Structure 1
Amino acid sequence: MIWHSPTVLLTILGCSGSLPGPDGPASGYLVEADGYRLGLELGNGVLASLQAHCDPFSLDALLFSHLHPDHCADFTTLAVMRRYHTHPPHDTTERKLPVHAPSEAPRRFARAYAENAEELRTADLSDVFEFHALGAEPFRVGPFEITAARVDHPGEAYGFRIATENAALAFTGDSGPCAALGTLAHGVDVLLSEATWTHADDRPPGTHLSGVQAGDLAAAAGAGRLLLTHVAPWTDPEAVLAEARGRYAGPVELARQGHKYAVDEPVVRVIGGHGN
């Protein structure tokens, strides 16, 4: 079958929850439209996965929901690439990569990168990155309008609505149930929702969603489709999927590493890639 080029394409670079799993990286996604490449999260192992899909130098911007390692650990390895690659396609100090992230990102990433106290005093990584703190106001990167909202998770954590004129994708980041998620997900074509564990009354509040809660969110928001991600390696993904399907009548499936999804298609269609 010959596929047409979708307006918005979502690639799953990694979808293991809380840490890398035995067969794949932690959180990482690529969102593309009109030739523009937006990296969404860069957790443990995601840079390796990204290189199987595109040249990391071709990224136009990065977006981080929060600064837990399973969502950002590979940022420092990307810094090594951008600083020390012997034949980069462009001058990375002239074309700095925009990074939209929580306010502590420059300091936290510098601390993770620095090899010693002396380097920590000088290595703010602004030589190859351009940092922008997330806030309440929507902003544009390339063809995307991005709305960020604080969600219910330890630390400064956000969910996102990423929209073009033709399609809208919502990403929960990591969060317990909260009103912000419903606002971000309202009427979107695709809801990319974390579902770390199965449902139980004794789960710690303000941390993660269960399959039941992800399904409830998709149903209440009127989302067109639901993709479940961030399932922890110790959780049965089929049980999470069954929970979500029991609460949401629309199309729902587990996100698969390596798969590409056309956000603006009327049904979830895998454009290419491999699953695990």
Structure 2
Amino acid sequence: MRLIVLGCSGSGPGPGSPASGYLVEAGTVRLTLDLGNGTLGALQRHADPWALDAVVFSHLHPDHCSDFASLVVHRRYHPRPPYDPTLSKLPVHAPAGAAQRFAAAYAPSAAELATTDLTDVFDFHDLTEDTVVRLGRDDDPVVVTAFGVDHPCETYALRVEHGGRSLVYSGDTGPTPNLVTAARGTDLFLCEASWPHTDDMPGGVHLSGRQAGEHAAAAGVGKLLLTHVPAWYDAAELAVEAKAAFDGPVDVVHDGGVYDV
């Protein structure tokens, strides 16, 4: 497997990166994990959007999903599509209500909210706790498993497995044992670290660099990749925190970064 960073800026795009979005290549399968602001453009530097096998969303905050509206335009109005998108609909796996949420974001006016429907070119599937999605060939599957985590809206950590290797993406989350369960023994742990560690951090929102390291250590992961650092924080500082809590390799991802799993 290979992880390609389309964007990694926390809470919105920053001066050096789009918001959250990642391309995973596993065997013959290509899928995205989130599509935040600016990530569809970045995707086209690495893969043809028509070659995607699935789009998976950890949650529906705009910095993780807002470029889906642009993907709608791409699949509906591209002048030379390689196949009929109404006959080969792109699977979308996301928290409940995604079809309505994305339709509302795409609708051209308030009067058209009730009649906007994106199911002509997309096939929506609700994620729930322990949802298992199988992609690709039956004899060489890519398996995506959802684990509920702790954020103000319905949010899932996503574990992707293929060929005996695995990566786990935390989504956005505060500290939770379920993230340790999701990441247990994974080769690559892509974990949010959204602020420096303090004694008065709000619960159920994000992780500090130290907390990301603590979760990585508890899960026994192979490598920790920090992501979702907002533009107003120093990523190097958060990496120092993580390294103090986790004695394995730690890196901070960057726009366009490529990581073999």
Query: What's the CA shift string for 1:205-227, capped at 9, x where partnerless?
Result: 10000000000011110000000
2:17 and 2:254 in contact (8 A); partners too: no
Equivalence for 1:75:
68
Q: Pick the aligned partner of 1:141 from 135, 142, 145.
A: 135
| Partner SS state of residue 60, structure 2 | coil
What is the distance in 1 between the residues matched to 2:66 and 2:22?
14
2:29 and 2:142 in contact (8 A); partners too: no
Equivalence for 2:171:
173
Structure 1 residue 159, shift from structure 2 partner: 0.7
Corresponding letter in the other structure for 2:233: T
Q: Percent identity?
A: 55
Equivalence for 2:31:
38
| Partner SS state of residue 105, structure 2 | helix
Equivalence for 1:88:
81
2:132 and 2:146 in contact (8 A); partners too: yes
Note the 1:142-161 alignment, pairs <5 A.
Answer: 142=136, 143-161=141-159
Gaps of 5+ in 2: none
Equivalence for 2:234:
236
What is the distance in 2 between the residues matched to 1:100 and 1:123?
19
| Partner SS state of residue 244, structure 1 | helix
Equivalence for 2:207:
209
TM-score calculated relative to the size of structure 2: 0.96
Structure 1 residue 39, shift from structure 2 partner: 0.8
Equivalence for 1:10:
3
| Partner SS state of residue 133, structure 1 | strand
Structure 1 residue 118, shift from structure 2 partner: 4.3
What is the distance in 2 between the residues matched to 1:39 and 1:144?
13
2:6 and 2:22 in contact (8 A); partners too: yes
Gaps of 5+ in 1: 1-7, 264-276
What is the distance in 1 between the residues matched to 2:205 and 2:135?
29
TM-score calculated relative to the size of structure 1: 0.91
Corresponding letter in the other structure for 1:237: A
| Partner SS state of residue 63, structure 2 | helix
RMSD, aligned CA:
0.9
What is the distance in 2 between the residues matched to 1:213 and 1:154?
18
Instruction: Give the number of aligned pairs.
Output: 256
What is the distance in 2 between the residues matched to 1:141 and 1:210?
33
Structure 1 residue 30, shift from structure 2 partner: 0.5
Equivalence for 1:257:
255
Query: What's the CA shift string for 1:153-184, capped at 9, x where partnerless?
Result: 01111111111232011111000000110100
What is the distance in 1 between the residues matched to 2:232 and 2:7?
16
Note the 1:182-197 alignment, pairs <5 A.
Answer: 182-197=180-195
Deviates more, 1:127-136 or 1:111-120: 111-120
Equivalence for 1:22:
15
Runs of 4+ that moved beyond 4 A: none
What is the distance in 2 between the residues matched to 1:146 and 1:48?
24
Corresponding letter in the other structure for 1:96: K
What is the distance in 1 between the residues matched to 2:77 and 2:132?
34
* Residue 52 (structure 2) pairs with residue 59 (structure 1): yes
Corresponding letter in the other structure for 1:139: V
Structure 1 residue 121, shift from structure 2 partner: 2.3
What is the distance in 1 between the residues matched to 2:209 and 2:235?
9
Equivalence for 1:129:
122
Query: What's the CA shift string for 1:131-153, capped at 9, x where partnerless?
Result: 00002332212222111011100
Corresponding letter in the other structure for 1:250: G
